[in-house]
């Protein structure tokens, strides 16, 4: 009788060398992918961070120089809460940054447009636990003093990051350069905006513009009550800083 061998019982597989070669090829491909992907992801993050910081700065600058409905002074003199010009408001906001508890906060919140406007023209915040029709909600970004009773609840209901600032004046020294003031929240040349003026022969130009170094800090958690007794020395380093100028 003739016996035929059964070839189907033979088992085939990869050798150790073939396995190591495949792993090596995969490792090279992963290295190439990571080399190309990680820098691109970093560039995207950097771009997003730059856009976010520019948006925050723009909101702050706009709010500093724009008078809301309840901020117009009835007479010819500015007070702590009512002003005759946007420059006077900016002057006051700079002084508010002497302490973290009174400085300026920038934040976004969900505004309930179905409610009546508040005295400053803004809408009240939608509580985080409440759902309302999307047609009655608008995302608003604004800036206000941290100790504002009107916006205290809106700050607590903030969506996303909340920032607060420290203003430090940049002033001209004897060699016509700029130096940073030693104390934040203080205007060197005057105690009131109406006296912050310069004559036609004043080469320094004081009275026409405020030069400021603005440091931005993260507010975590977004609760003004936690900052009542804090000082700037207790704050961590700012997230980012920029130079600003506010003209009369």
- Give the pLDDT score at 44: 40
The rounded distance, in Å, linking the Cα atoms of 119 and 23 is: 68
Mean pLDDT, the chain, integer: 82
Instruction: End-to-end CA distance of the chain: give it in Å, rounded.
Output: 114
Query: Nearest CA to 53 among 163, 210, 170, 144?
Result: 163
3-state secondary structure 112-154: ECCCCCCCCCCCCECCCCCCCCHHHEEEEEEEEECCCCCCHHH
pTM of the model: 0.75
Residue 75 DSSP symbol: S
Q: What percent of the chain has pLDDT over 70?
A: 79
Distances in Å between the Cα of 37 and the Cα atoms of 41, 42, 94, 177 are 6, 9, 43, 44
Question: What is the pLDDT averaged over residues 230-240?
Answer: 90
Query: Residue 157: pLDDT above 70?
Result: yes
Question: What is the pLDDT averaged over residues 187-202?
Answer: 73
| Interior/surface letters 6-42, b for 16+ CB within 10 angstroms, e for the rest | eeeeeeeeeeeeeeeeeeeeeeeeeeeeeeeeeeeee
The rounded distance, in Å, linking the Cα atoms of 145 and 90 is: 12
């Amino acid at each position: 009788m003739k016996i035929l061998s059964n070839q189907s019982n033979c088992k085939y597989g990869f050798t150790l060398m073939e396995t190591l070669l495949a792993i090596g090829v995969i490792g090279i491909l992963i290295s190439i992918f990571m080399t190309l992907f990680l820098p691109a992801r970093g560039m995207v993050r950097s771009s997003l961070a730059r856009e976010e910081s520019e948006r925050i700065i723009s909101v702050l600058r706009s709010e500093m120089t724009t008078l809301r409905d309840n901020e117009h002074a009835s007479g010819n003199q500015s007070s702590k809460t009512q002003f005759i010009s946007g420059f006077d408001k900016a002057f006051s906001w700079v002084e508010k940054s002497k302490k973290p508890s009174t400085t300026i906060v920038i934040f976004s919140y969900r505004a309930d447009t179905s409610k009546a406007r508040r005295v400053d023209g803004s809408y009240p915040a939608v509580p985080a636990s409440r759902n309302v029709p999307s047609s009655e909600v608008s995302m608003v970004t604004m800036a206000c003093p941290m100790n504002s009773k009107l916006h205290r609840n809106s700050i607590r209901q903030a969506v996303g990051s909340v920032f607060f600032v420290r203003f430090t004046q940049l002033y001209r020294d004897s060699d016509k350069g700029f130096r940073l003031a030693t104390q934040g929240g203080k205007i060197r040349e005057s105690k009131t905006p109406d006296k912050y003026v310069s004559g036609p022969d004043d080469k320094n130009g004081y009275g026409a513009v405020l030069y400021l170094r603005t440091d931005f800090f993260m507010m975590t958690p977004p609760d003004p009550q936690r900052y009542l007794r804090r000082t700037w020395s207790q704050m961590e380093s700012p997230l980012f800083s920029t130079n600003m100028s506010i003209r009369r």
